[in-house]
Amino acid sequence: MAKFVSLSCFLFLFLVISATTVIQQTHANRCSKMLAVTGCKLFDCKKQCFQLHGENSGLCLSNGAGDYGCFCSWEC
């Protein structure tokens, strides 16, 4: 079970990094970052994105292990 959770977390992080790379290549003026891997609360995620980058673009994305991480994107 622990191996499955570890594998799920690894695959999720790999997917996020891959997606971020593709997004940055196709839309060079848009940046993104995973602010927290677990424990995302939508209101707090949006607030943190706004404080860091001036945009209300925070999203809670599933990490594949039954939890959500805070993902932020903004204009570079």
Q: Write out pLDDT tens, residues 17-37.
A: 665 555 555 556 889 999 999
Q: Which of 25, 75, 29 is nearest to 49 (CA)?
A: 75
- CA dist 55 → 1, 17, 51 (Å): 39, 21, 8
Res 32: pLDDT: 93
Residues 6+ apart with CB under 8 A from 32: 20, 23, 24, 71, 72, 73, 74
Res 38: pLDDT: 94
pLDDT tens digits along 48-61: 999 999 988 999 99
Indicate the length of the chain as a whole number. Answer: 76
Q: Which of 20, 22, 7, 28 is nearest to 71 (CA)?
A: 20
| Banded pLDDT at 10 (limits 50, 70, 90) | low
| Banded pLDDT at 65 (limits 50, 70, 90) | confident
Distance CA(23)–CA(25), nearest Å, equals 5
